[in-house]
Amino acid sequence: MLPTTADIVIIGGGCMGVSAAYYLAARGAGQVVLLEREKFLGMGSTGRNAGGVRYQFSTEVNIRLSIFSLAVISHFEELCGISACYHPIGYLFLLQTPKEVEVFKANVELQRRVGVPWVRYLEPREIAQLVPLVNLDGVLGGTFCPRDGLADPNSVTQGFAKGARAHGAQIEMETTVTGIKTERGRVAAVVTNRGEIATRTVVNCAGPWAAQIGALAGVDIPILPVRRQFFTTDALPQIPREHTFVIEFATSLYFHPEGAGLLVGMSNPDEKPADTYAIDEDFHCKTLERAIYRLPLLENACVASQIAGLYEVTPDAHPILAQARALSGFYIAAGFSGHGFQHSPATGKVMSELILDGKATTIDISMLDLERFAEGRLVQEVNVV
């Protein structure tokens, strides 16, 4: 039965929604209800992502979100009873211009200063030792962090959901939010296909669809859905399973071990915002071509699957973690612009603090407000592909 009242209603059952539900319920936030329109959790971007987790970001707030989140992900079983399958295979950024080298050297300094001592700059000969199968033509240097790597989005989502339920949160599937009622500048109720829930607090965790939820409440949220796709290959025994995650920064080509093969992706810079999971075969061929250039042994690999998903893109590639100033009780945790899975633990934590204490104390997220876009206070992240 859908409840008729709730203290907090969370919209969206991806990694963000369940993390928020977990941290809120664990703090004893009252009746916490999560609504998801699909039959299962993690059917949106969370179920279509590459599983990368990394400390290597270019802004202090993103690095701090990573430090908290990776600490949780690496000990997830202790928190939620399920392993997050964390594999610290490392992330290697390949750099091809003096400008990239300069920017990434500065990033390494920032990362080390903020609390990531393991990250370092590598010269081409060190890169050749680390990834002997990779063609390093044109590579001037790279940055490497051995504690970056992979984790399983499904395990993290199920783990947080299990933990949230254990603390009394209610998760309602096949429940589509169709309206948000307001009264005198604050949230009053959430309308769904299964009935209405009176509440004074809503958390918008609708990922690529967060702007649609905002529109239901009369709040303008600049998050656009942008298709990104990747493919996996059949078994490639030549590539060790602990081979590092490689990203060619200029093109955004990336690959890492997946099952017995590889997962290979690249972002199309010309992709227009749209809500589609169709595979763009032309761009798939471009990705394949570039991947074979960097990793020649791929020439003999077979494509096993192709997957498209949606990035949830903001104008500055940073999420919105805030209460809307124009509508009291309307909170937003969305817009991670393609790297949200790895920040889901920290997001749930800081949102619980923001909602229950009025301010996030674990990490200063004050610059991630909604109003920064209208007021021209963007927080640009460059390490996003």
- Establish if 323 lies at the interface with ligand FAD (CB under 6 A): no
Kindly state whether residue 84 participates in binding ligand FAD, applying the rule CB under 6 A: no
- Give the one residue of 5, 97, 176, 380 binding ligand FAD; rule: CB under 6 A: 176
Q: Which is nearer to ligand FAD, 36 or 381 (CB)?
A: 36
Min. distance of Cβ 120 from ligand FAD in angstroms?
Answer: 22
- In the chain, the amino acid numbered 54 is R
Which residue, 300 or 315, has its beta carbon nearer to ligand FAD?
Answer: 315
Rounded to an integer, what distance in angstroms lies between the CA atom of residue 256 and that of residue 262?
6
CB closer to ligand FAD out of 294 and 339: 339
354 is an interface residue for ligand FAD by CB under 6 A: no
Beta-bridge partners for 85: none
Q: Is 24 in the site for ligand FAD (CB under 6 A)?
A: no
In the complex with ligand FAD, the residue whose CB is nearer, 97 or 176, is 176
* Residue 15 is a binding residue for ligand FAD (CB under 6 A): yes
Task: Determine which residue in the list 339, 346, 372, 384 makes contact with ligand FAD, applying CB under 6 A.
Answer: 339
Least Cβ distance, residue 44 to ligand FAD (angstroms): 2
By CB under 6 A, residue 345 contacts ligand FAD: no
By the rule CB under 6 A, 69 interacts with ligand FAD: no
- Does 55 sit near ligand FAD (CB under 6 A)? no
Among residues 343 and 372, whose Cβ is nearest to ligand FAD? 343
Q: Does 336 engage in binding with ligand FAD (CB under 6 A)? A: yes
Q: Nearest 5 degrees, angle CA 42-CA 47-CA 48?
A: 150
247 is a contact residue toward ligand FAD (CB under 6 A): no
Q: Is 230 in the site for ligand FAD (CB under 6 A)?
A: yes
In this structure, are residues 313 and 335 in contact, taking their beta carbons and an 8 Å threshold? Answer: yes
Could you say which of 9, 21, 34, 37 contacts ligand FAD (CB under 6 A)? 37
From 9, 10, 14, 65, residue interacting with ligand FAD (rule: CB under 6 A): 14
Interface with ligand FAD includes 16 (CB under 6 A)?
yes
209: contact with ligand FAD by CB under 6 A: yes
Neighbours of 359 (CB within 10 A): 11
Among 10, 35, 131, 365, binds ligand FAD (CB under 6 A): 35
Contact stretch for ligand FAD (CB under 6 A) within 74-82, 117-125, 133-141, 340-348: 340-348
Q: CA angle 291-55-342, nearest 5°?
A: 80
Number of residues binding to ligand FAD, judged by CB under 6 A: 40
Nearest to ligand FAD of 123, 309 (CB atom) = 309
Sign of the four-CA dihedral 187, 315, 350, 360:
negative
Q: How far is the CB of 36 from ligand FAD (least distance, A)?
A: 5
Q: How far is the CB of 125 from ligand FAD (least distance, A)?
A: 28
CB 331 within 8 A of CB 348: no
> Rounded to whole angstroms, how far apart are CA atoms 267 and 49?
13
Q: Is 205 in the site for ligand FAD (CB under 6 A)?
A: yes
Q: Binding to ligand FAD by residue 50, rule CB under 6 A?
A: yes
Residue with tokens 């307001």: 182
Cα radius of gyration rounded to whole Å, the chain: 21
Q: Which residues bind ligand FAD (CB under 6 A)?
A: 11-17, 35-38, 43-46, 48-52, 176-177, 205-209, 228, 230, 309-312, 334, 336, 338-342
